[in-house]
Amino acid sequence: MPTLHGFSYSNYYNMPKHALLHKGVSFEEDLVYPSAPGYNKLNPAMKVPSFTTDAGQHLAEAAVICEYIEEAYPQKPLFPTDTFERNRVRQLMHVAELYLELPNRRLLPFGFSGTTAPEPLIEEVKAVVERGINSINALASFDPWVAGAEYTMADIYLFYVLAVADMGSASTGIDLNEKIPGLNSWRGKFAADEVAQKVAADMQANKESFFKYISG
């Protein structure tokens, strides 16, 4: 059986987890934090998630694991068959990660420690987030899903990216729901799904353990 390694408080871990649950794939969850001894054998970059295939091979990077899941488990597809549309979904995944998740991630240590981020850092983050907002507004339809009529990996990616983007908003003051028309109602629709609710419940269940891990 394939194994997903990581922890449920991680938004990146929850992307492939959501895809596996959506497709009804049987898999094991290995609760592990990235500094665990030997974790580098699963992912040399020491980041969560990583994935072990049925054949015992290790993969890492959430987007790569998601693509593997789609190829290995084609049921309930999460990418369009049309070449252009499939790559449009990938573009949405990448812009969400690069211009909404990663800049806001730089502010997480301040949020977690209750300290104020330096103004120059906040300005840098805001400039990058502006690119993300413009990209999502240009590419996403929210009609009803991110890439249009079909529920795709872009929905899963954007939803979990927003977990970190929201935390950064406390420092930047950027209200993504206000800046991206359609975002809030789409988010409600996504979150109402049974799979999203299981992932959210597991995330909450891991919260205490995660904060103990980072405080150590």
What does the binding site for ligand GSH look like in residue numbers (CB under 6 A)? Answer: 10-12, 34, 46-49, 61-63
Beta bridge partners of 50: 5, 60
User: Shortest distance, CB of residue 197 to ligand GSH, whole angstroms?
Assistant: 20
How far is the C-alpha of 170 from the C-alpha of 34, rounded, in Å?
Answer: 26
How far is the C-alpha of 113 from the C-alpha of 194, rounded, in Å?
Answer: 33
- Of the pair 30, 61, the CB lying nearest ligand GSH is at 61
Residues 6+ apart with CB under 8 A from 214: 112
User: Shortest distance, CB of residue 182 to ligand GSH, whole angstroms?
Assistant: 26
104 closest CA partner among 162, 146, 47: 162
How far is the C-alpha of 158 from the C-alpha of 102, rounded, in Å?
Answer: 12
- Of the pair 97, 136, the CB lying nearest ligand GSH is at 97
- Of the pair 34, 168, the CB lying nearest ligand GSH is at 34
User: Shortest distance, CB of residue 9 to ligand GSH, whole angstroms?
Assistant: 8
User: Shortest distance, CB of residue 181 to ligand GSH, whole angstroms?
Assistant: 28
- Of the pair 65, 136, the CB lying nearest ligand GSH is at 65
